[in-house]
Amino acid sequence: VRPMSKLATAWAGAATLAAPGLRLMLRLRLARGKELAGRLAERRGIDPSPRPSGRLLWLHAASVGETLSVLPVLTPLLSQASDLTVLFTTGTVTAAALLAQRLEPEHAARVLHRFVPLDVPRWAARFLDHWRPDAAAFLESELWPNLLAACHARGIPMMLLNARLSPRSFARWRHAPGLARAVLGGFDRVQARGEADAERLRMLGARQV
């Protein structure tokens, strides 16, 4: 297991301490219609439904734009791998609704939507220990240190798809080079949006870009 940087360790500790406040935040989001009643537990990695048998790919798209970009991949992916189930997580209700509307009916039983757990170590561990994905793919710039560290600790292969990193974000990450290496260095492959993004990701420690 790759050693955590001091900042990554601090992030994990801060997220653990913030967990009670995050529970309150989720209830406030529910009151504003930004979470779904009956599904708040998913944001803490809790799920009573069983893991399906066979191979499971965890695919995470933060919101509507990322969901739209990856939808065309689902049909050929599922057609080529008959034993594969896709666990499709999003962070927003609107993305969940879009997925339900756009998903091909014949694939609906093999694509399970859940809301991604917040980046608290215990919640991330609970989510991964329940679903036990065989691989994980994240869209664009979804870089949650505790979720990614938990995947890496369990030996789950990870890919960052259509990866992007703006000059502004690059400048911010350069102030935390150890955390950047810890986060980006865990990906087994990074498919960048373009060469400029690829170069910025390499400079921060991404491999196989």
**142 is annotated as an active-site residue:** no
pLDDT tops 50 at residue 82: yes
pLDDT tops 50 at residue 130: yes
Distances (CA, A) of 65 to 60, 62, 116: 12, 8, 16
Which residues make Cβ contacts (< 8 Å) with residue 19, sequence separation at least 6?
120, 122, 123
For residue 89, name the pLDDT band (cuts at 50, 70, 90). Answer: very high
pLDDT tops 60 at residue 106: yes
Of the candidates 35, 42, 66, 142, the residue annotated as catalytic is 66
Q: What is the pLDDT of residue 1?
A: 42
Contact 145, 8 (CB under 8 A): yes
3-state secondary structure of 91: coil
**CA geometry: angle at 12 spanning 132 and 17, to 5°?**
115
Q: How buried is 28 (Cβ within 10 angstroms: 0-12 exposed, 13-18 middle, 19+ buried)?
A: exposed
The most confident of the ranges 70-74, 75-79, 198-202 is 198-202
Distance between CA atoms of residues 36 and 31, nearest Å: 9
